[in-house]
Amino acid sequence: MTEPIATRLIVILLLALLGWTEVTIARMRQLWAAVMLTGIFSFLGAGWMLILDAPDVAFTEAAVGAGIATFLMLATLGLTTREAKSPTAFKPLPLVVVIATGIVLVYGTLDMPHYGDRQAHIHTYPEPSYITKSNAEIQLPNIVTAILASYRGYDTLGETTVILTAGVGVILLLRNERRKPRDGVDPTAESTT
């Protein structure tokens, strides 16, 4: 890798801040501050993805992770308490599970190609044609959009349907507007009879 030393320093700084934010969130009992820190975590992650030349992913992370997710967690906090319960006693089993999962994940990364490797699987399969062909076939400057919306249009249609399903699920499970008593009859009383 022939990155400028400044880029490396920024990456190290970002990753260190990411790790520090994670640990702080895990140790924190004040849920308000924890929610704000998750937003900061997403912004740091977005900055790091920008350095990895993935502006579309960084954009999504910033909009969804730092934007909507923070909003939704704040809205949830409005419904519950602002303080987490302090742990009653030290439990060894969760620690073992977390460490084991971490070891498995790190072991999984050993098989991954190095960053910027031209021979990596994603650059050779199906063939390096998306980059060369989309220039002639679709002529869009943003190849990510060309791939997502055109070459993989079926995938994106499926993803949009997943979001539709999520919306329908939220409406069915969480919306309580219809549970208001109609004509003076309590619907919960109906269901029990």
Partner 1 sequence: MNHYSILRIAAKLLIPYILLYGLYVQFHGDFGPGGGFQAGVIFASGIILYGLVFGPEAARRVAPAGIVDRLIAVGVLVYAGTGVAGMLKGGQFLDYNVLAHDSTHGQHLGILLVELGVGITVSAVMVTIFFAFAARERTE
Candidates 95, 161, 186, 187: give the one binding partner 1 (CB under 8 A): 161
- The single-letter code of the amino acid at 31 is L
Number of residues this chain uses to bind partner 1 (CB under 8 A): 47
DSSP string, 125-153: SS-THHHHHHHHHT--S-HHHHIIIIITH
Give the x/- contact pattern for partner 1 in 70-109, rule: CB under 8 A: -xx-xxx-xxx-----------------------------
| Least distance from partner 1 to the Cβ atom of residue 115, Å | 20
Burial class (CB in 10 A: 0-12, 13-18, 19+), 31: middle
135 touches partner 1 (CB under 8 A): no
Q: Point out which span in 11-19, 103-111, 121-129, 175-183 binds partner 1 (CB under 8 A).
A: 175-183
189 touches partner 1 (CB under 8 A): no
- Whether the Cβ atoms of residue 150 and residue 163 lie closer than 8 Å to each other: no
Closer to partner 1 at the Cβ: 24 or 67? 67
- The single-letter code of the amino acid at 103 is I
